[in-house]
Each structure stands twice: as structure tokens, then as C-alpha cells.
């Protein structure tokens, strides 16, 4: 999101060890950015395991070693691992920061899959570390099995990091209790531009205490610093437990690189935090770190696409269309152009999305958008008010990036594509918007819903204004009245989507960090105008 207030004071940052009395010790074995090769013993996977982009027959498994190792995945239909299938994985080394991903194929649909990752000494395969276990469910082949998934975004933003005093990233335990089929991570998975200090002041005078690391003590510029941002989140045991139980579908937004970035941007000299001013250089390093630290099917070694936008198919009920609103966007501007062919998606991605929506046979087509459509998100990082998302605040006919969204909505209507629902995060509050042509300046589309959730562990902000171009009505919202409310004070959110296998109904629930339901909406399959 666009930072709306200054972040907490970031002085007194720790650089690897203790500093002052407020410093918090890191979990054993996880504090070092560089594995200690000189240590004797066997390879260790102290960062846990993750699974991602799971389909009815396949899934990706991720791990990080503390030294060079060969990754091997053992797969079993039972938790006892009495019968296993061994799948050899890559050699983990410095080139990938000792991370690696292995693709599992030939899995049965709609079944609980148990796996364990074994790390072997590359010079002596008999020397193996302690296995690390995980589990996930494959997508169903039958409609009647139903689907449940969660979504949210924004982790460790505005200087609010892992605080053991409040239970760390406790929201992940609440999400795990719902036993979802997968989790859609809707961007801003790290704040590479947001250093974490040892303490930050709360409004009541208390101190918010953070775990801190060297790489999180400054804005990320080098590849090592970007990698360190992803490792930082894995210091949290709630997140590691969640990763071992719930597979992810991951996209990115701006803070994996820098606030409100766009291709070709050059950082102004007034931002003295950065010695590397070329955003394209920073984005390339960040993208590499994303590919190393998340199991994304289109970014794994040997993948043909090499891109973040993709379709993840989850049985006959659901296709998830993962968008990338960063890589192909035009420069942020006032958004008043009457012609804007590039827009926020780029022409190639827009045409891809049209094709994939038209060929989808799923009952529901979730468009995972890393930025909202009708909420006005501004960018003032360059000293003037620019448009950061789609809406530019003028309720009239589409202009700027709104033109591309209008083209897409018109296409969905005229091709009679049903079941489209938009899910997003970014704005650090939760809300539900219904878009209706009868309220809009642009009317050539069918009504649809957009649901917003987040943050997971970041500053919360007041609700943003709506732009009337596509006729949104905010049916529900929960947001603080002041800016940058800390996770210690609440206002952390996630969303749940449940699709019933018999009726095909989609139930969307907006939840608080403890799982409390704030808002529920039931949508009927195959209908328009809901």
C-alpha cells in the first residue's frame, strides 16, 4: 500500500546480536543469514517446509538447508509413513541461498498427502538430517467435495515485526484452525523497504518489541538483503507451523521491492536510504528472492513461463487467476489519460486473462488482484499526487488505468462469463464492495463483488475513498480511525471462501485475527446481478 504516515522510529536497530535491554533473542539456529559450513553434523532444515500451487495431481514442496545438501522428498498416504515414495530433489547451494523446490507429480485427487523432506550430505548420502514433515490436500476431482480457502496479505509492515510479547504472527494459528485447502497470499509478503527496529512506541506509552536481524535493519538493496527479508518472517513459529499444514498460492505487490514502484522508475536523490536508485535492478533481485523463498509453479527452475501471473486450478468448482499488477504497469500518474493501452496489467497479461477466463469451466473464477479496483489508493512518493492502483478519484467515465478494467469487465459480460469474484488486500483494512452498473458512470458490465482483507501483521489504516466509475457500494467495512495502528491493538484481518460441493454456493466471510466472523455474504453459482 501507499504509506499514509511515517513508520515508527527505527533507531537502535540490532545488527545481528543484542543491543540495549530491549533486544529479543532469535530462535536457535535461525539468526544467521549465512549458513555456518564449519559446523560439524548433518544438514538441518530449521526454516520449516512449505507447499504451493497444489492441483488435483501435483504440488510443490520447499525447504531451506543450513549448508549444502541434497533435497529428497518422501511422500506417503498416511502420517505413519509406512509406505513412502521417494522423489529426488535439487542440490541446495549458495546459488539459491540453500533453498530448493521439488515438484510432486502423480498424486491422487482430493486426498491428504503427507510428506517429509530429508536433507542429505552431498558427499555422503548416508549422512542425513532430521526429516521435516508437512501435509496438504490435493484439489478434488469431484464437485461434491467442496473447497475452503483463506486469503490476506501484508506482513511486517510499517515497522511492526515479530513481537513475542503478543504471540508473534498469531493470526496464522487462527487461520490454521479452519483447516483450509490453501491460502492465497495476496502480496506485500515482506516489506523490503521497511526496516525493523528493536522497539517502537505505542500510543499508551508501552513499547512494541520486535525480533530483529541484520538484513532487516535497512532497506533491501542487495540480493542478500532481499533474501533476509523472507527469512525474517520464517523466524515466527506460527508461520512455520502454518506453512507445514496449509499450501499457498503466492503473488507479489510493491513492498517486496519498494513502496509504489513501477518499471523504469528511478528513485529520487532525496531518498538517501537507497544507494541503488534503479528500480529495475532492485525488482530483479527481489523477484529472484521471491522465486527462491516461495514454491511458485511458474518460477521454479525449468518452468516455461517464468512469470508470477498464472491460473491455479482447484477442481471443477474453482479456478484462481493470480494477477501481477507490478511487472507490466505503466508509470504512476494522475490517471486522466483518455487512452491508456498499457494500464496496470499490460496488454499481454490482459489478453492472457481474457483467454483464460473464457476457457475456464470452473463454477467460480476468483480473480486474485494484488490491488483493489474501486478504492482510491494514491502515491505521493515522487512529491505529487499520483494514482497507485486503478481508481483515480473521478467518478466519471473511465480514464487512465480504469480503461483497461472497463475493457475486461465488458469482455466478461459479452462472453457471458459467470462466477467472477475479486479478492484483494493492500489497503490494510477489511471491506466488501458490490459493483453495480445502475450506480456507475461506465455501465457495460455485469454486477460483481470485490472483497478486501488484511493486514496479517502490519499497520492498519482508515478506509479509503470509493471511486464511482464502476458503481461500487461499500456494504461492509472495518478499519481504524487513525493511521498505522499496530498489531498489538488489533485490526488485523483475513478472509475465508467456502464453496459448497452440492449447491455450488460460495460463502465469503471476513474475519478478525482471532477468527471472529465480521461479515458473511452468500453468492449463488451461475447468476448475474447478485
Distance CA 510, CA 126 (A): 49
What is 49-137's CATH number, 2.60.40.380, 3.40.50.620, 3.50.50.60, 3.40.50.720? 2.60.40.380
Distance CA 63, CA 522 (A): 38
pLDDT given at position 31: 54
Distance CA 435, CA 445 (A): 9
Identify which has the larger pLDDT, 243 or 19: 243
| Rounded average pLDDT over 168-188 | 98
160 class by beta-carbon count within 10 Å (0-12 exposed, 13-18 middle, 19+ buried):
buried
How far does the chain reach from its first CA to its final CA, in angstroms?
A: 29
Model confidence band, residue 7 (pLDDT cutoffs 50, 70, 90): very low
* Length, in residues, of the chain: 530
Going by C-alpha positions, the residue among 301, 176, 334 that lies closest to residue 242 is 176
Model confidence band, residue 9 (pLDDT cutoffs 50, 70, 90): very low
pLDDT given at position 440: 98
Residues near 517 by beta carbon (within 8 Å), at least 6 away in sequence: 509, 510, 511
User: Which phi and psi angles does 235 have, rounded to 5°?
Assistant: -70, -20
Distance CA 52, CA 47 (A): 16
Decide if 49-137 and 146-523 have a common fold: no
Per-residue pLDDT tens over the stretch 463-476: 999 999 999 999 99
| Rounded average pLDDT over 478-490 | 97
Lowest mean pLDDT of 17-31, 56-70, 388-402, name the range.
Answer: 17-31
Distance CA 49, CA 246 (A): 10
Residue 281 has pLDDT above 90, yes or no: yes
Identify which has the larger pLDDT, 496 or 28: 496
Distance CA 234, CA 237 (A): 7
C-alpha cell at 420: 467472477
Residue 445 has pLDDT above 70, yes or no: yes
Work out the widest C-alpha separation in the chain, in whole angstroms: 70
Query: Are 510 and 433 spatial neighbours (Cβ–Cβ below 8 Å)?
Result: no
Residue 434 has pLDDT above 50, yes or no: yes
146-523: CATH number: 3.60.21.70
Query: Are 66 and 46 spatial neighbours (Cβ–Cβ below 8 Å)?
Result: yes
Query: Are 225 and 290 spatial neighbours (Cβ–Cβ below 8 Å)?
Result: no
pLDDT given at position 273: 97
Going by C-alpha positions, the residue among 282, 193, 296, 255 that lies closest to residue 426 is 255
Per-residue pLDDT tens over the stretch 311-364: 999 999 999 999 999 999 999 999 999 999 999 999 999 999 999 999 999 999
C-alpha cell at 350: 490482459
> What are the residue ranges spanned by the domains of the chain?
49-137, 146-523
pLDDT given at position 14: 30
Per-residue pLDDT tens over the stretch 42-91: 999 999 999 999 999 999 999 999 999 999 999 999 999 999 999 999 99
> Interior CA angle at 95 toward 92 and 96, to 5°?
60
Residue 170 has pLDDT above 80, yes or no: yes
Query: Are 456 and 154 spatial neighbours (Cβ–Cβ below 8 Å)?
Result: yes
Model confidence band, residue 526 (pLDDT cutoffs 50, 70, 90): confident
> Whole-number mean pLDDT of the chain?
93
Model confidence band, residue 20 (pLDDT cutoffs 50, 70, 90): very low
Strands 493-499 and 517-523: unpaired
| Rounded average pLDDT over 154-180 | 98
Amino acid at each position: 500500500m501507499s504509506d499514509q504516515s511515517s513508520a515508527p522510529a527505527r533507531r537502535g536497530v540490532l545488527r545481528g546480536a543484542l543491543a540495549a535491554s530491549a533486544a529479543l533473542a532469535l530462535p536457535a539456529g535461525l539468526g544467521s543469514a549465512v549458513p555456518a559450513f564449519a559446523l560439524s553434523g548433518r544438514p538441518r532444515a530449521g526454516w520449516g517446509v512449505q507447499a504451493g500451487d497444489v492441483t488435483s495431481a501435483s504440488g510443490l514442496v520447499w525447504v531451506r538447508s543450513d549448508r549444502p545438501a541434497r533435497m529428497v522428498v518422501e511422500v506417503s498416504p498416511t502420517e505413519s509413513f509406512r509406505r513412502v515414495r521417494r522423489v529426488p530433489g535439487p542440490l541446495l547451494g549458495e546459488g539459491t541461498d540453500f533453498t530448493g523446490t521439488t515438484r510432486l507429480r502423480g498424486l491422487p485427487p482430493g486426498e491428504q498427502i503427507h510428506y517429509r523432506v530429508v536433507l542429505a550430505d552431498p558427499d555422503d548420502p548416508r549422512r542425513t538430517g532430521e526429516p521435516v514433515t508437512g501435509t496438504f490436500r490435493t484439489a478434488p476431482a469431484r464437485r461434491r467435495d467442496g473447497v475452503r480457502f483463506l486469503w490476506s496479505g501484508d506482513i511486517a509492515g510499517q515497522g511492526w515485526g515479530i513481537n513475542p510479547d503478543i504471540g508473534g504472527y498469531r493470526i496464522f494459528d487462527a487461520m490454521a484452525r479452519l483447516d483450509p485447502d490453501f491460502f492465497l497470499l495476496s502480496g506485500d509478503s515482506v516489506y523490503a523497504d521497511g526496516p525493523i527496529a528493536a522497539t517502537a512506541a505505542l500510543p499508551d506509552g508501552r513499547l512494541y518489541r520486535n525480533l530483529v536481524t541484520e538484513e532487516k535493519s535497512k532497506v533491501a538493496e542487495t540480493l542478500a538483503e532481499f533474501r533476509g527479508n523472507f527469512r525474517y518472517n520464517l523466524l515466527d513459529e506460527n508461520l512455520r507451523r502454518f506453512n507445514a499444514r496449509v499450501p499457498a498460492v503466492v503473488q507479489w505487490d510493491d513492498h517486496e521491492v519498494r513502496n509504489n514502484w513501477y518499471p523504469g522508475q528511478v528513485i529520487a536523490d532525496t531518498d538517501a536510504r537507497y544507494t541503488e536508485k534503479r528500480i529495475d535492478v532492485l525488482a530483479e533481485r527481489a523477484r529472484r528472492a521471491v522465486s527462491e523463498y516461495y514454491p511458485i509453479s511458474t518460477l521454479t527452475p525449468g518452468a516455461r513461463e517464468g512469470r508470477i501471473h498464472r491460473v491455479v486450478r482447484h477442481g471443477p468448482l474453482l479456478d484462481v487467476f493470480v494477477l501481477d499488477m507490478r511487472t507490466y504497469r505503466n508509470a504512476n500518474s494522475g490517471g486522466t489519460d483518455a487512452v491508456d493501452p498499457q494500464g496496470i496489467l499490460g496488454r499481454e497479461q490482459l489478453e492472457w486473462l481474457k483467454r483464460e477466463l473464457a476457457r475456464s469451466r470452473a463454477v467460480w473464477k476468483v480473480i486474485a488482484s494484488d490491488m483493489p479496483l474501486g478504492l482510491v489508493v494514491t502515491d505521493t512518493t515522487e512529491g505529487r499526487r499520483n494514482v497507485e492502483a486503478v481508481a483515480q478519484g473521478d467518478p466519471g467515465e473511465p480514464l487512465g488505468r480504469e480503461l483497461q478494467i472497463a475493457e475486461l469487465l465488458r469482455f466478461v459480460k459479452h462472453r457471458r462469463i459467470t462466477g467472477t469474484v475479486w479478492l484483494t488486500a493492500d489497503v490494510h483494512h477489511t471491506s466488501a464492495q458490490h459493483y453495480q452498473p445502475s450506480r456507475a458512470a461506465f455501465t457495460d458490465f455485469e454486477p460483481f463483488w470485490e472483497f478486501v482483507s488484511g493486514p496479517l501483521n502490519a499497520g492498519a489504516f482508515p478506509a479509503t475513498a470509493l471511486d464511482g466509475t464502476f458503481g461500487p457500494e461499500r456494504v461492509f467495512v472495518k478499519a481504524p480511525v487513525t493511521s498505522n495502528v499496530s498489531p498489538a491493538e488489533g485490526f488485523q484481518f483475513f478472509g475465508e471462501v467456502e464453496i459448497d460441493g452440492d449447491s455450488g454456493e460460495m460463502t465469503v466471510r471476513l474475519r478478525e485475527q482471532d477468527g471472529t466472523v465480521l461479515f458473511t455474504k452468500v453468492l449463488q453459482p451461475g447468476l448475474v446481478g447478485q
